[in-house]
Amino acid sequence: MSDDHAYQAISAYSDKLIHTPNIDQIADEGVIFTNACVTNSICAPSRATILTGKHNHINGKIDNGAPFDTNQVTFPQLFQKAGYQTAMFGKLHFGNDPKGVDDFMILPGQGHYINPAFITKSGDTTITGYVTDIITDLTLDWLKAKRDTEKPFLVMYLHKAPHRPWWPSPEKFKEFTKKEFPLPETLFDDYQNRGTAAQTAEMNILYDLRYGHDSKIRPETFASMDSIKPYIKPYNWGGSDGFSTSFARANNVQKDLYEPVLDSINIWFKQNWRLLNDREKMEWKYQRYMQDYLGSISSVDDNVGRVLDYLQESGLDKNTIVVYTSDQGFYLGEHGWFDKRFIYNESFKTPLMIRWPNRIKPGIKKTEMVQNLDFAQTLLEAATITPPADMQGESLLPLLLGRDKEWTRDAVYYHYYEYPSVHMVKRHYGIVTEAYKLAHFYYDVDEWELYDRFKDHHEMNNVYDDPAYKKIVANLKTELADLRLKYRDSRELDLYYINKYLDK
């Protein structure tokens, strides 16, 4: 699993932006889901859903700040009990150690790209190098030398990349800053015909990406450009924290590898920035964003290749299930945005591909609406371990093994909570069917949005108030109420979580 890996940036889904041959191999030799989605598009809550097989209102990890109650049953514990060797390497983001793993080395919080620190069973440590390579080294080392080869295993290999602030390795930084990427159709979205939430969110590339933090403009470049005025939100102006949190960790040898590319970006910025109009500024920031984001992904793909190669060399590939996914989707300039959180497509959907030789037919594509909620039950059933009755997902085995008729789900439930907070996306829950998406933004506004998924692929037109959709709205509201009941979510719980975590 990677952190914030948009399906738009995997060539098995779309080859517009990047070629990811290694990740694609999993899809080519197994199944790719084109409508996999999350229950709540944000990091730690997604991980909690994956581990517990429960929605966040049940497992309590509603946002990145809420504590994760480790007394809950997570699926690795059940694998461990069933005699599996278990391990976890990379980003967990819970604020506490994983349960049910024999071995782990996890990043503290978001972790660092360069010379990252790790939390281990025997104390904290720092490893020199680039985080994506290191997480892979740790995983391979465990597979090769640390596990008991007599036992079956479950290993969670969890990349920090491509999470903000998108520091690629020095080689990829050099390679990707030379590239130019196609602009998304909705890059200049003005959020008309949407709700208040889309208009007030703070994740617009032009206004909210920070030059220092994200675009790799050095603090000293700003210092010499004091006639440049901030955009709308002053706190976004000229932040240097991408340098102090990430780049400052690099040693001199590593810094020297980055400096020539940083120089070229900064010299260009200094000479040209003032001359650009807003449209050109948006395009420049989009290109810079894509160069770093996709450069970070390219290393993920190379490293996934290293793991797949090892599985093949060792013969483990023949009876190992390999899953590739992300903790959520991400905006790559669609609607002018970066980040995630919304029920809208790019953040709601997540990549999912699964390889299982001799069981899953190679090269199949599935369009059913499956969720991260389903992963625990799927993996448990695949390993013939009985899932606990209170897990809320559905095993994907029927879809994986050609028993499609057993799959009956036609609607999924979504609920996002983290507000007010970074990026300012308002709380909302909703229902998504093949044809429609109905969402209720219920905190500090009371607004409904309806999108016609067949007619409006880019979700640009909220048709909630259109009389032509009156009956559809009524039916969807009933279905949504049924889903809330089925998953045991309620108005009382919405208020409980508002009161519990907001200063009232």
Least separation in angstroms between CB 337 and ligand SGN:
11
Q: Does 43 bind ligand SGN (CB under 6 A)?
A: yes
Token pair for 360: 């899953």
Least separation in angstroms between CB 265 and ligand SGN:
18
Residues binding Ca ion: number (CB under 5 A): 4
* Listed residue (457, 489, 393, 481) closest to 36, CA to CA: 393
Site for ligand SGN in 101-120 (CB under 6 A): 110
Give the C-alpha separation, 194 to 461, whole Å. Answer: 6
Q: Which of 17, 43, 140, 217 binds Ca ion (CB under 5 A)?
A: 43
Q: Does 249 bind ligand SGN (CB under 6 A)?
A: no
Q: Within 337-412, where are the H helices?
A: 345-348, 375-382, 397-400
Q: Does 3 bind Ca ion (CB under 5 A)?
A: yes
Q: Which partner in ligand SGN, Ca ion, none is near 147 (CB below 5 to 8 A by kind)?
A: none
Phi, psi at 120, each rounded to 5°: -130, 175
Least separation in angstroms between CB 159 and ligand SGN:
12
Q: Does 3 bind ligand SGN (CB under 6 A)?
A: yes
Q: Which amino acid is at 482?
A: D
Question: Which residues, 6 or more positions from 472, have their beta carbon under 8 angstroms from its beta carbon?
Answer: 436, 450
Q: Which partner in Ca ion, ligand SGN, none is near 165 (CB below 5 to 8 A by kind)?
A: ligand SGN
How many CB atoms lie under 10 A from the CB of residue 423? Answer: 19
Question: Which residues, 6 or more positions from 227, have their beta carbon under 8 angstroms from its beta carbon?
Answer: 274
Identify the three-state secondary structure at position 325: strand
Whole-angstrom CA distances from 429 to 17, 33, 417, 491 are 31, 23, 9, 11
Q: Which of 5, 61, 163, 172 binds ligand SGN (CB under 6 A)?
A: 163
Least separation in angstroms between CB 115 and ligand SGN:
18
Least separation in angstroms between CB 243 and ligand SGN:
12
- Output 42 or 439, the one with its CB closest to ligand SGN: 42
Give the C-alpha separation, 49 to 376, whole Å. Answer: 9
Options 1-9, 139-147, 237-245, 458-466: segment touching Ca ion (CB under 5 A)? 1-9
Least separation in angstroms between CB 387 and Ca ion:
25
Q: Does 339 bind Ca ion (CB under 5 A)?
A: no
Q: Which of 23, 37, 38, 42 binds ligand SGN (CB under 6 A)?
A: 42
Q: DSSP letter at 442?
A: -
Site for ligand SGN in 202-231 (CB under 6 A): 213
Give the C-alpha separation, 168 to 16, whole Å. Answer: 20
Which residue(s) pair with 451 in the sheet? 437
Question: Which residues, 6 or more positions from 392, have their beta carbon under 8 angstroms from its beta carbon?
Answer: 53, 54, 55, 58, 373, 487
| Helix pair 375-382, 43-52: axis angle to 10 deg | 40
Q: Which partner in Ca ion, ligand SGN, none is near 373 (CB below 5 to 8 A by kind)?
A: none
Give the C-alpha separation, 446 to 170, whole Å. Answer: 47
Options 3-11, 30-38, 56-64, 308-316: segment touching Ca ion (CB under 5 A)? 3-11
Site for ligand SGN in 393-432 (CB under 6 A): 422-423
Q: Does 336 bind ligand SGN (CB under 6 A)?
A: no
Q: Does 63 bind ligand SGN (CB under 6 A)?
A: no
* Listed residue (328, 310, 371, 299) closest to 129, CA to CA: 299
Q: Does 4 bind ligand SGN (CB under 6 A)?
A: yes
Site for ligand SGN in 74-93 (CB under 6 A): 93
Site for ligand SGN in 8-37 (CB under 6 A): none
Least separation in angstroms between CB 50 and Ca ion:
12
How many CB atoms lie under 10 A from the CB of residue 15? Answer: 11
Q: Does 135 bind ligand SGN (CB under 6 A)?
A: no
Options 35-43, 131-139, 281-289, 367-375: segment touching Ca ion (CB under 5 A)? 35-43
Options 7-15, 161-169, 191-199, 302-310: segment touching ligand SGN (CB under 6 A)? 161-169
Question: Which residues, 6 or more positions from 437, have their beta carbon under 8 angstroms from its beta carbon?
Answer: 343, 344, 430, 431, 449, 450, 451, 453, 459
Point out which residues bind Ca ion (CB under 5 A).
3-4, 43, 327
Point out which residues bind ligand SGN (CB under 6 A).
3-4, 42-43, 64, 93, 110, 163-165, 213, 339, 422-423
